[in-house]
Amino acid sequence: MKTTSENNFEQQWKRKFENASVPPPSDMWDRIEADLDEQKKRTPFFLLWGLPAFVTGGIAATLILALGGWFLLNNTEENTSAKVVKILESSSEEVILEKSDVQTSEESVAEPFKTEPQETVISKKVIGSTASVATNKRTLSELPKLQSNTTGFAQLMNEVILDEPKAGKITSQINPTFLENIADNLRKIAPHQFTELPVRYILKRNKLAYNEPIINEETKEKRRSWIGLISGISPFKPNFQNGGLNNLASANAASFSANDANFTIQRVPNGVSGSNSSDMENAFGIPTGSPVQQFNNGRAFNFGIQAGKQLTERLAFESGIRYIQGNSPVNSNVYTLNQSTGEINPFVQDYLTQDKTLSNAVVASVETLKNSYEYLSVPLQLAYEIPLRKKLNLEITGGLSADMFLQNTLQSETTDIASLNAGNSAFRTLGVSGLGGVRLNYLFDEKWELVIGSAFQQALVSNFESGSSAQLRPQMFGVNYGVNYHF
C-alpha cells in the first residue's frame, strides 16, 4: 500500500464508489412491484380529476374551507377550571375545595413555582412519607391549582388521589415518589404557555402542547406588516333572478307583434346587423315561442395588490385593491328593434338601459351572448392565523368588499358590442360583497411569503339598482394565490 498526496483523497473515494454496485436483495423487485400495485389501487380517489376543472376546484376549495371552519370552531380553549372543579365536586363531599382555588390564568398556574417558600411548602406536603391526602386539605387544594391548565394531568392526579370517587371516600395513600415526580414535571412545564396542537393532531383528540417560543418569535418578527400581489381564478355564478323580465318580454313581444304587422318576428340571420328597415322586414317573418333569458355560469379572474398589518399575535387586518372580471354567457331569444334605425339589441340590454325601444320586443331563436362584468374591488378583511410549521401558517379570512362597478359588456353575433355602466344603465355604482377564505402562507425567504388558498365572494346586494325587479348577485368561489413582502 502506498501513500499519496492529500488532495487526491476525495477523488480516490469518488472513483472507488461512483460506479460501485452491490446486488440488492432478491425479493426487492417484488416489493417494489407490490408498492406500485398498491398505488394503482388507490387511484379511484383521483378519478375526481376526470371531472371538469371547476367542479374539482370547487370541491377542493369547499373541503379546505370546511376543514378550516371546523378547526376554528373546535379550537376554542376548553375551560379547564370547570372540568377540574367538576371532577373534584363529583368525587367527594369530604374534600372541601373552594372554586376560587382553581383558576386558569397563567399567573395562578405558575404561582406555586414562583417563589421558593411556596414550592418548599408544597414539596414538603407532597413528599410526606405516609401522609393521607384526606387529612391534608391544603395539599389537595393546591394540587388542582398546579394543574389547572393541563386537563389530562389534572384528571390523572385526581383519579390517583381520589381512589373511590363515587363513594366520596378517600382511602388511598399517596406514593410520595410518584407525587414528587409529578411535582417535578409540573415545575418544568408550568412556565410554558399551552395551546392546542395544530389541526392534524386534534382531529380526533384534544392534546395540549406548549408553544415553542421560536414559533412565536418568528411570527412576531416576520408578520408585522406586508404588501403583496394577489391573483385568483374561480367559477363565476351570476345568481341572476329574472324578476318578471320574461313576462315583460313576452307581453312586449305580443303587443309589438299585434300592433305592427310588418315586424312579425323570426330569428335574425347571421350577418344581419339591422342597418336598414327593409332588410329587417325581410329578416323577420313568423313569431316564435316563449322568451328565454338565461344567465349561465362562467369564469372569473382577479388580480391586484394587498397590504396587511398584524393587530395581535394571531389577528391581522388586510386591505388592498383588486380588478375583477367575470363572464356569464347569456342564452337569449328576445331582442328589441329600433324601427327608425333598424338597430337590434338584446332585450336585457334595453331593459337595463331603460331604452324606449324596450316595447318593440321580438322573440326569435336562442342565441348565446358574450356577457362580462368588471369591478374594482376594495376588500377589508380580518385574517386569523394558525401556525402549522415554523414557516407555514394557515389563515382563515373573512370580511367585506366594496365593489365599484366598472362596466358590463354584452355582445352577440348579430348585435353590436354594448357597454353598460352605472351612468347609462340600471347598474349600481357601488356594491358590497361578503368575503371568506382559507389560505396557506409559506415564508420561502426572510421577507417573502407565498400565499395560496381558497376564496369565496358573494354579493350581498344586487348589482342592479333597487328599482329593478331583476337581480344580479354574483358569487365566486375559487383559488387565490400571490406573494407578500414583509417589512
Which stretch, 14-22, 143-151, 371-379, 410-418, contacts another protein (CB under 8 A)? 14-22
**Residue from 204, 202, 81 nearest 146 by CA:** 81
Q: What is the DSSP string of 211-265?
A: PPHHHHHHHHHH-SEEEEEEEEEEEEE--EE-TTHHHHHHHHHHHHHHH-GGG--
Can residue 43 be called a binding residue for another protein (CB under 8 A)? no
**Among the candidate windows 32-40, 259-267, 321-329, 424-432, which touches another protein by CB under 8 A?**
32-40
Q: What spatial distance separates the first Cα and last Cα of the chain, rounded to whole Å? A: 61
Nearer residue to another protein within complex by CB, 33 or 260: 33
* By the rule CB under 8 A, 261 interacts with another protein: no
Using the rule CB under 8 A, which residue among 14, 86, 309, 447 binds another protein?
Answer: 14
Contacts of 471 (CB under 8 A, 6+ apart): 239, 240, 241, 243, 462, 464
18 binds another protein (CB under 8 A): yes
User: Which residues are registered as beta bridge partners of 453?
Assistant: 439, 480
Closest approach, Cβ 223 to another protein, in A, equals: 22
* Helix 151-161 with 137-146: angle, nearest 10 deg: 160
Name the residue nearer to another protein (CB basis): 4 or 76.
4
Minimum Å gap between C-beta 408 and another protein is 43
Quote the CA–CA distance of 280 and 200 in Å, as a whole number: 68
CB of 19 to another protein, least distance (A): 7
Q: In the complex with another protein, which residue's Cβ is closer, 77 or 212?
A: 212
Query: Measured from the CB of residue 216, what is the shortest distance to another protein in angstroms?
Result: 20
Nearest to 365 by CA among 453, 455, 459, 265: 265
Q: Closest separation between CB of residue 21 and another protein, Å? A: 4
C-alpha cell at 96: 372541601
Nearer to another protein, 218 or 279 (CB): 218
- Residue 460 binds another protein, judged by CB under 8 A: no
Toward another protein, which CB reaches closer, 20 or 47? 20
Q: Binding string to another protein for residues 275 to 294, with x set by CB under 8 A, is what?
A: --------------------
- Amino acid at position 117, single letter: P
Task: Give the number of C-alpha atoms closer than 13 A to the C-alpha of residue 411, restricted to the C-beta side.
Answer: 9
Q: What Rg, from alpha-carbon coordinates, does the chain have?
A: 36
Is 6 among the residues that bind another protein (CB under 8 A)? yes
Residue with smaller CB distance to another protein, 299 or 391: 391
Angle at which helices 116-127 and 106-114 cross, to 10°? 80
19 binds another protein (CB under 8 A): yes
Alpha helices (H) along 293-356:
347-353
How far apart are alpha carbons 298 and 313 in whole angstroms?
Answer: 39
d(CA 114, CA 149): 16
How far apart are the C-alpha atoms of 192 and 14, rounded to whole Å?
Answer: 49
214 touches another protein (CB under 8 A) = no
Residue 26, interface with another protein (CB under 8 A)?
Answer: no
* 35 in contact with another protein (CB under 8 A): yes
Q: Minimum CB separation from another protein for residue 35, in Å?
A: 5
Number of residues that bind another protein (CB under 8 A): 31
- The torsion region of residue 168 among left (phi > 0), alpha (psi -120 to 50) and beta comes to left
Does residue number 41 form part of the binding site for another protein (CB under 8 A)? Answer: no
Kindly identify the residues of this chain, within the stretch 53-92, that bind another protein according to CB under 8 A: none
22 is a site residue for another protein (CB under 8 A): yes
Give the contact letters, 294-333, x = binds to another protein (CB under 8 A), - = no: ----------------------------------------
Residues that bind another protein (CB under 8 A): 1-6, 8-10, 12-25, 28-29, 31-33, 35-36, 39
